[in-house]
Amino acid sequence: MNAKPIGIFDSGVGGTSIWKEIHTLLPYEDTIYLADSKNAPYGQKTKEEIISLSVKNTELLLSRGCKLIVVACNTATTNAISYLRENYKVPFIGIEPAIKPAALNSGTGTVGVLATKGTLSSSLFLKTSKDHAGEITLVEQEGVGLVPLIESGKINSAETKQLLINYIKPMLEANMDHMVLGCTHYPYLIPVLREILPPHVSIIDCGTAVAKQTLAVLNKENLQNPKKTPGEIQFYTNKDTKILTSFLQDVDELKQIEYLNF
């Protein structure tokens, strides 16, 4: 099992922000990434639909021999990971909005959360908020329209910037000093957010924490690949490969991104 790959899936290109952190920390591990862009965004779908899509992605990764699966999607984690863990034997790593560190470090007592409807309305998000933000004011904002814009490569468009301005306004009016990104697509918006946000507002995402948790689980389950040569990288998308390619231009080891009808 040690030599088998780590599987990663997301509702599109956003989870590549997680993949990059995992690949940086675990360069000798083989990885397979699925971008389910055809069905993005997951955040507008029902819980049943999200579970069904997550099962489809999991089955495909398992058919390719994956030893561990990272659900690199906040919406899929909050809605489907319990089901996946109950029905499959491999370890699963999930993604949760980083409310705990934001709440612990907030000086103003107000934290903004930008996430999808599927994440904000989930029972896991509500539990995380209750557990870690009891004394903190959370200003929650659904990022309607952001994922399709990112999936279309329009990160720096005027439309994207205006949406972010609109979404951030109530957070700033409430005196937030930390902003949590509750979708793995959103770290790609950080350069635009930096243009909009005051310097004192910290932006928090969970990429590094997820990579560290992946390493911890590999060690716990004795699944680390012992080889000392760079891991094999495989990327698959069920939509236009050009978009995914544009998000991975800085990955020197990447040889090819393949279209796969899944």
- Catalytically active residues are 73, 183
Residue-wise burial string across 147-175, b where 16 or more C-beta atoms lie within 10 A, e elsewhere = bebbbebebeeeebbebbeebbeebbeee
Compute the Cα dihedral for 55, 24, 234, 10 and give only its sign: positive
CA atoms of 10 and 36, how far apart (whole Å): 6
| Three-state SS annotation for 80-137 | HHHHHHHHCCCCEECCCCCHHHHHHHCCCCEEEEEECHHHHCCHHHHHHHHHHCCCCE
Tokens of 240: 């236009």
Q: In what order do the strands lie in the sheet with 202-204?
A: 137-142, 110-115, 178-182, 202-204
